[in-house]
Every structure is written in structure tokens, then in C-alpha cells.
Amino acid sequence: METLGTETAFEVLSKAKALEKQGKDIVHLEIGEPDFDTPRNIKEAAAKAMNSGYTHYVPSAGLPELRQAIAEHISKTRNLDVTPEEVVVTPGGKPIMFFSILALVNPGEEILYPNPGFPVYESLINFVGAKPIPMPLKEENDFSLDPEYVKEKITKKTKMIILNSPENPTGGVLSREDLKGIADSIAGRKDIFVLSDEIYSRIIFEGKHESITQFSGMKDQTILLDGFSKTYAMTGWRLGYGVMHKDLALKMAQLMTNSNSCTSAFTQMAGVEALRGPQTEIEKMIAEFRSRREVIVSGLNSIKGITCKKPRGAFYVFPNVTGTGMDSRTLGNYLLNTAGVAVLPGTSFGSYGEGYLRLSFANSVENIKKALDRISKALKNR
């Protein structure tokens, strides 16, 4: 258990809550979840399902209705031919990470992963006794991956490459060319799997989402992770899925049987409605994120000591704070305790996150402006 890491967002949230209990006003920019309510049609579909008997165990791999809807959705959005047998439904997207690494990686094997990146990747790599090989995401490359670097890091021991686009925490997006470069560098290595975390695929502000699965032969060695938490503001429902080779899908379903039995039945019926019902609420939500992005990026750039690139996807900014003279952790604590603004240090996402903070703009424009004003004042009054 000593090797298992965590997600600092939950720790900062509890520190911030403790300060609120003491009467302090805190603006929450630490948590990675949409502040919108789940669209009404989805909630109604869940209630209807609950009232019509979807309250029992269902197949471990997911309800046939939902696996079918996901297969259609992924076929359409990734320009692939996906069948329901290639889909496994899980309580959130996170179990797909856990199960993929557990199922496919042996101790001593190497996993390439983005750094700064979602902290659970590194945590799980260490947990199974594999060797984490960071792929640094650099600000000067717009937090994209350098396919040449990836190629250089592939060895005989490489078992998995984790990709995440749009990326948490940087908002970086992998281009078609970058993905093609990565696909080319593992061509002929059928023993390497790609875990492609596409949970933010719908929250993209420039260009369109591209998936490594579209390149020749890649679908069979990729586990595509997506879900409902971010797109449909359904973080508390716990509904996600993986798309993978059907033989691996059988094993993942077996891991589900051994751990969760199945994903909640009425939640899955809500998922069918999410994918097949009207998408207008989602489009509104993304438009709102787009305008908040403008507010937060220009506000941060006007603060002395901070520079911030425009994220191309997801709902996070990853400003460079080296000009403040404080390290990420000290600055994060200072902003929480002095300014009442909860943010995450870049180092919560790996060692390459030093010099940065992560701020979520899944909060109202009013609160974002309040936070910017407080940060600016706190840095001036040091």
C-alpha cells in the first residue's frame, strides 16, 4: 500500500472545507467537475428506469442497451467500427485505468505516461510494481507530446503508453500529426497497449478531437476510455466505459464481476438517454466554458509574475507562476490561506508540474473574477 498515490484535489478540497467551517469565504478552483446540474432529460430517464424495475444486478460488462448506444457513439465520433462486445461499462472512467493496468502490466515492465498528468496514472503504475517513464509536456510545445521523445523512450520492456487528450491539467490537445507519429513509433510492436484517456473529448475549443484509434491497426491495441462525468455533468453518478479488443473486454468484465459486480442499472439507462437524447444543454455548457476561458486567461495574464497560455480543451488553465518567486506548493498554500482561493500546485500532477498551478474554470464568471482579484491583491501585498 506504500506505493499507492492519491489525488491532491481531494486533500485541498478538505482543507478548504475546514477553512469554510471556521467562517472563511473560499473560491473553489481546485475541483475538476462541471458546476452545472445534470441535464433534466437524463435525470428523468434515471427516475423512469428506477420506477420500471432497473434496480437489480445487470451483466458485469454493462446493459446491452447502453453497450449498443456507446458502440454507435464511438463509431460515429471516432470514425471506427465498434461493436457492443468491445464495450465495457464501469462506475466512472477511473476503473478502466485501474483494470487496464492490472490486466496487462507485469512488475518491472515500463509504462510511458504524461507528466504533468492525471495523478492516478503514476499512482497505479507504482502500485502494480511497473516502472513509470514520464513523457514531459512542455509549455513551449503548447503542452503537446513530442512523438520523437516517445519513440526514444520505447524499449523492450515498454508495455503501455498512456495518452490523455484533451489533457488534465494542462488543457493540451494532441494533434492528428502527433498521434500519427506515436502510432508509427509503435507499429510492429503488438505487445504494447495504448490507454487513450479521452474523457474530455467533447470539451474542446479549437480544432476537433482526434483519437489514436483511427490509425491503421491501432484499434486492436488501444483501450479507449471515455465517460459521462465531464461531458454530461454526471460526476456523482459514476458512469464511464472502455472500448477495447473483445477478448480483453471479456477479462475486464471478469474484473468487474470480481470487484463491483456491475454498474448501477438505472444509471446506465440514464447514460442511454445522455447519448441519444438532445445535446443542446451540453453545447450550452461548452459555450459557457469557452467564455470563462477568455476571462480566466486574460485575468491571469494581467497579474504580475503569472503568464498563462490558452488551453485548447478541458476546463483547466495551467499558468506559469515562476515569476512570483514562490514554488508551486508554497504559492498554492499562500493563496488558500491568505486569499481564500483554492487551487492545485502543478506538482500534484507530477514533478514536471513545478512552476505551475492548476485552476479549474468549472466555476461561474463571477467567482472566477473574484478569485482573480484576490490573487492579484494577495501577490501585491506580500
- The residues that touch ligand PLP, with contacts defined as CB under 6 A, are 32, 92-94, 118, 164, 168, 197, 199, 227, 229, 235, 240
Q: CA–CA distance from 268 to each of 66, 67, 251, 272 (Å)?
A: 6, 9, 20, 7
- Listing DSSP states for 93-160 in one string gives SHHHHHHHHHHH--TT-EEEEEES--HHHHHHHHHTTPEEEEEE--GGGTT---HHHHHHH--TTEEE
- Listing DSSP states for 240-258 in one string gives EEEE--HHHHHHHHHHHHH
Taking the complex as a whole, the smallest distance from the CB of residue 294 to ligand PLP amounts, in Å, to 22
- Listing DSSP states for 321-355 in one string gives -GGGTS-HHHHHHHIIIII-EE-EEGGGG-GGGTT
Which is closer to ligand PLP, CB of 240 or CB of 340? 240
Taking the complex as a whole, the smallest distance from the CB of residue 205 to ligand PLP amounts, in Å, to 17
Q: CA–CA distance from 297 to each of 346, 354, 372, 382 (Å)?
A: 17, 19, 10, 23
Q: How far, in whole angstroms, is CA 317 from its chain's centroid? A: 14
Which is closer to ligand PLP, CB of 271 or CB of 332? 271
Which is closer to ligand PLP, CB of 115 or CB of 376? 115
In the complex, which residue's CB is closest to ligand PLP? 92
Taking the complex as a whole, the smallest distance from the CB of residue 83 to ligand PLP amounts, in Å, to 23
CB 260 within 8 A of CB 91: yes
Which is closer to ligand PLP, CB of 265 or CB of 306? 265
Taking the complex as a whole, the smallest distance from the CB of residue 84 to ligand PLP amounts, in Å, to 20
